Amino acid sequence: MADRYFDKFPVITYNDNKVVDITNRVALLDRVSRNPYIFYPYDLSDQERADQLSNRYYQDSYKSWLIYLGNKIIDPYYDWYLSQEELDEFVEKKYGSLYKAQTKIKYYRNNWEFQDNISKSDYNALTPSLQKYWEPNYGVGSSVLDYKRKEIDWSVNTNKIVSYFVSNTSFVVDEICNVNLQQDYIGKGQVIATTNNVVYLQHVYGSFYTNDEVSISANSYIYGTESGSNAIVTSVSAVANNISEEELVYWKPITYYEYENEKKVLVDSTEKWVINEKFWALKGPEENSRFITVQRVTITNGEESREEWNVISFAAAEAAKTDDEYAEKILAAPDAGKAQALAMFFSSRR
List the Cα angle 113/304/263 in 5-degree steps: 40
| CA torsion angle 39 41 47 48 (round to 10) | -40
Q: Could you give the 3-state DSSP secondary structure of residue 328?
A: helix
Number of helices (H), then strands (E), in the chain: 11, 17
- 133 in Cβ contact with 151 (< 8 Å): no
Radius of gyration of the chain (CA): 28
Mean pLDDT of the chain: 76
Helix (H), strand (E) at residue 147: strand 144-149
At residue 320, does pLDDT exceed 60? no
Q: How far apart, in Å, are the Cα atoms of 57 and each of 50, 60, 65?
A: 10, 8, 13
- The whole-number pLDDT of residue 102 equals 96
- The whole-number pLDDT of residue 8 equals 76
- The whole-number pLDDT of residue 306 equals 57
Q: What is the largest CA-CA distance in the chain?
A: 89
Cβ contacts of residue 128 below 8 Å, gap of 6+? none
At residue 298, does pLDDT exceed 60? no
- The whole-number pLDDT of residue 134 equals 95
- 199 in Cβ contact with 222 (< 8 Å): yes
At residue 79, does pLDDT exceed 50? yes
If you average pLDDT over residues 320-326, what whole number do you get?
A: 56
Top mean pLDDT of 137-146, 271-280, 292-301 is at 137-146
If you average pLDDT over residues 106-131, what whole number do you get?
A: 93
Question: What's the residue count for the chain?
Answer: 350
Higher per-residue pLDDT: 282 or 291: 291
* Segment 144-198, tens digit of pLDDT: 999 999 988 888 999 999 999 898 889 999 999 999 887 777 889 999 999 889 9
- The whole-number pLDDT of residue 12 equals 87
Top mean pLDDT of 35-39, 239-243, 283-287, 312-316 is at 239-243
How many Å apart are CA 18 and CA 16, to the nearest integer?
7
User: What would the 3-class secondary structure string for 171-233 be?
Assistant: CCCCCEEEEEECCCEEEEEEEEEEECCEEEEEEEEECCCCCCCCCCCCCCEEEECCCCCEEEE
At residue 51, does pLDDT exceed 70? yes
If you average pLDDT over residues 197-207, what whole number do you get?
A: 89
How many Å apart are CA 132 and CA 138, to the nearest integer?
17
From the list 137, 155, 159, the residue with the least C-alpha distance to 146 is 137
Helix (H), strand (E) at residue 313: strand 303-313
Domain locations along the chain: 113-151, 166-241, 272-349
**DSSP letter string over 236-299?**
EEEEEESS-TTTGGGEEEEEHHHHHHHHHSPPPP--EEE--SS-EEE-SSSGGGEEEEEEEEEE
* Alpha helix ranges (H) inside 27-77: 30-33, 50-58, 64-70
| CA torsion angle 327 328 330 336 (round to 10) | 110
Task: Give backbone dihedrals phi and psi of 306, rounded to 5 degrees, phi first.
Answer: -135, 145
> Cα 121 from chain centroid?
36
Q: Could you give the 3-state DSSP secondary structure of residue 106?
A: strand
